[in-house]
Chain A
Amino acid sequence: MLAKIYITLKKDVLDPQGSVIANSLKSLGFNNVEDVRQGKFIEIKLNNKDKDDAQKQLGEMCEKLLANLVIEDYKIEIE
């Protein structure tokens, strides 16, 4: 199965890269842009059969390595 992991900065953590991207989009004429938050996207291929097991293990992977929980949140999607 394939897992998709989204890692984003927590809401109360400033994202200067996101702000710069927002300004660049505006300078291209996309004046409807209100805010941009940048993050990471990781795909992990697993040989698990059980989706619940995979979900649990992916949570551990995020907490131990993939995300820094002081500044980041994570979201897991399994296909």
Chain B
Amino acid sequence: MKSHVIVFPGSNCDRDVAVAIKSISGQKPEMLWHKETSIDHSDLIVVPGGFSYGDYLRCGAMASTSPIMQDVVKKAKEGVPVLGICNGFQILIESGLLDGALMRNSSLSFICQDVLIKSKNKSSVFTRKSKLAKMPIAHNEGNFFATSEQLKKIEDNDQIAFQYCDETGNVEQSSNPNGSLANIAGILNENKNVLGMMPHPERAAEKIHGCDDGKIIFESIFN
């Protein structure tokens, strides 16, 4: 399996994702600087977390105009799995690959904590093995918003990948850390080959992290 991790100025989860991919798939991903213009054959493209371009204008807005993103969008439309984590999710939304918007957390605070998520979609390449999982979030703009038409489309087409929930899997407002609409922690595109998620699976991918629930997403992709 050949995978690629895109690196923008301000990315800071690129190496963590690379370590997780290497340990789970056995193959080191290729790191691609955002100024590159094309991606060779790829089985997985990861747009990692961080603070690309210092979050100028809107999180992910500047990075979405980087040269490499044209080919990321092209490959995504051809069906290549694309995973955006945290700032990567914001970049995929700004690139038009995913619906909605990620707004400032409703508490107006940066939130860094473990959350529980469950997958609603169980058929995509990313979620087919998913179960209730614990992983960290660390963001200031993770408050998912969509217009009522977009939300209906996302729900009707089984595009909700993950929702914040409690220990028993109940999706309640009390388990919603950032004000996201319908407790949405991650969504898929219409074809289910693009996933954007705010929680960080790569930060919960080994026992030494205190939890390795995040592995399941990578195992789902690679096995």
| A and B: interacting chains | yes
A contacts, CB < 8 Å to B: 13-14, 16-17, 20, 40, 65-66, 68, 70-71
B contacts, CB < 8 Å to A: 57-58, 61, 65, 94, 99-101, 103-104, 106-108, 145-147, 150
Residue of chain A at shortest CB distance from B105: A16
B145 lies within 8 A of A13 (CB): yes
Counting residue pairs across A and B whose Cβ atoms lie within 8 Å, the total is: 29
- Residue of A14, A65, A66, A68 touching B106 (CB-CB under 8 A): A14
B101 lies within 8 A of A17 (CB): no
Residue of chain A at shortest CB distance from B106: A16
Q: How far is the CB of B210 from chain A (nearest CB, A)?
A: 31
- Name A's interface SS: mixed
Residue of chain B at shortest CB distance from A20: B108
Known A-B contacts A70-B146, A70-B150, A71-B145; A65 and B104 likewise in contact (beta carbons under 8 Å): no
Q: How far is the CB of A10 from chain B (nearest CB, A)?
A: 9
Known A-B contacts A68-B101, A71-B103; A17 and B146 likewise in contact (beta carbons under 8 Å): no
Residue of chain B at shortest CB distance from A13: B145
List chain B residues, Cβ under 8 A from A40.
Answer: 57
A70 lies within 8 A of B145 (CB): yes
Query: Can you identify 9 A-B contacts, CB atoms within 8 angstroms?
Result: A13-B145, A14-B106, A16-B106, A16-B107, A65-B65, A68-B58, A70-B99, A70-B150, A71-B103
CA separation between A14 and B61, bound complex, in Å?
21
